[in-house]
Amino acid sequence: MPTLHLGILCGLILGALSVAIMLPMPFPDKRSALLAAFTNRFAIGVCIGLMAPGRIGWASGLMIGILLSLPSAIITKAYAPILTVGAIGGTAIGWVLHRFGIPG
């Protein structure tokens, strides 16, 4: 599967997992919080999928996951859970795209 398509699929999966993790938590505006989390995690997959094929790997996924998660962590002051999910998800997506993605 082309890396961009695989990145979109992985982003959808990571976004759904993040929403599932957040469902039991209370939020003043739960719909907005879930939508923001899903969009952020989806963007991680898309950004990694858009990288040049020779640059995709677990380390680049880790960096993108952390960098894209950092603004949400700063705003909510929930650094550990947000950065942890972003780092693990970005690392996993980077590895999957490096291993199974087809350039092009």
Token representation of residue 13: 């999966």
The answer on pLDDT for 104 being more than 80 is no
Residue 35 burial (CB count, 10 A): 13
53 pLDDT band (50/70/90 cuts)? confident
pLDDT, average across residues 39-67 = 96
For residues 67 and 82, what is the distance between their CA atoms, to the nearest angstrom? 11
- The answer to whether 27 touches 72, Cβ cutoff 8 Å, is no
